[in-house]
Structure 1
Amino acid sequence: MFARSARALGLGTIATALLATSMPAAAQDDDEARIRKLEAEVRALQRKVFPGGDGRYFEPQITAPATGTTTPAASAAPSTTAVTDILARLDALESQLQRLTAQYEVGTNAMRLLEERVEALEGANAPPPEPVVKTPAAQPEPVSQPDPARVAAVQAITKPQTDDAGDDEYSYGFRLWEAGFYPEAQQQLTLFVEKYPNHSRTSFGRNLLGRAYLDDGKPTEAAPWFLRNYQADKNGARAGDSLLFLAESMIALKDTNRACIALSEFGETYPALATGRLSGQYATARSKVSCG
């Protein structure tokens, strides 16, 4: 273990020394002098790493040749061998470093190619985007065309032409209601009560407008007109009628409480109508509800 550590330390230090001295050596033309200098550096490093001059792993320090006993060639051979070994190791390290660098570059390139393949596979396996379903714009409901036969029948009802324009408007609405054209009567009578609020026929008009809705199966729309006609003028020609029809509208709406209130008020306010012209209608309405 110590021998291998010493070799590794010695090799690293020698490599540093060689790099540090490469520039001065390059300036010399004498190869022999360069080798001798390297030998001296190796010997100096040897003394530091192995104090005492232990020669088990490196050649001991080479002393100057004695006169007449050792030739220069013989004394230089060990040093030349050591330097050659060092240079060979450095070449091996450089070659190994080049191989590692090449392997790293190959590995990096392979990793890049692998990442590209993974990205391509992920893109291929990704679920396709859900199609955007556009909701078609709502189309307006087609306007229903009036029945030609109904149009002809309504047109067959003539509108009176007298000196009293207000009375003519009311009479035309009455004729439409009497013929069973309730929507047309509603439109005509609304026109009349709005245009002639103080006409002598206005009480008739509001009451008949409520009846046009009630007969058309629309008690919710009918009730306000009956109540309005009663409250506007309790002495009006059709105020009593409107109060009784208001009770019938509440019965149709299954509002027993309000129906009983309207019937009670009708009996108290209009006793003559309750026992006379509207007695039959009054009795029928009372039979439909149970008032306490």
Structure 2
Amino acid sequence: MTVMIAGLAAAAPVGAQAQSLSLDARVGQVEKRLNTVERVLSRQNGGGPLVQPEIGPPDASTTAAGTPASAPLTDLQARVAAVESATASLTNRVETTEHRLQQLEGDFAGYRRATDARLRALEESRPTSAAGGNEAADDTPARPARPAPATPKPSAAADSARADRVAAVPKPTGTDAADKATYAYNYGYRLWKAGLYPEAEAQLEKYGTRFPKHRLVSRAQNVLGLVYLDDDRAKDAAQIFYENYSKLPDGDRAPDSLFNLARSLVVLKRPAPDICQVYKEVGDVYGDKLTAAQRAEADRGRATYKCK
């Protein structure tokens, strides 16, 4: 019995030492992983030099043989406390980094929306280029600002200034110039966008007379109606829009001409049932063929005039 007790007493320190070494090795692995995370965060937060880890292996020191070691549990408690502190610090840095990323994403999204809005505004207001190009796709934007009304008897200086404005409108070149019908349409379109309504009217009326079967005739007639509408000739505009829709119901701008007809009737102060009839025609004839913007416009019109 005495021998067994002595054996157990001798084995106890060995077991405690093995347990301490095992726990020590596990804490060491945690420290190494934290060091790796710290290096990654250091590079992400600024791309600067690597930041040395706050926790490192204990300084190697030699002790004289036979010198009693410090209590293993006390050492491990100190190291675990250091690991917990470093973990809290890393958690805070990760949360801070995530917050900064969210702010950057929000700022970038706002910047992109503002840039898109500015680009759209520039595209709507920029003059057409002198290099030609087909303006056929751009004949449905917001109307250009109307210039100041001319005096009944313009002076020679006023005539000269208007001639300069007309001369400043670029004429189509390249392939558009070779195609006389396309040239006539595009030049009339550019005159309208420049606010030169009488000149645009003459150009587009000449186009309609000379090229009644051209592929752009639906667009040209719609633009001619817009010229009349902008030039305070709402009755003539309504007539042109109606004829463009009724004669060319499958034309590129037939639905737009119906919407513009409704606008003309509003200017002419026609009763709401007449305007509602136009919006009903839009839905009955074109229905699912309308674009999202056209459907929204039709819905607004019906709501405004309380169409049934």
Question: Taking structure 2 as the reference length, what is the TM-score of the superposition?
Answer: 0.46
Q: RCO (CA 8 Å, sep 6+): is it higher in 1 or 2?
A: 2
Larger Rg: 1
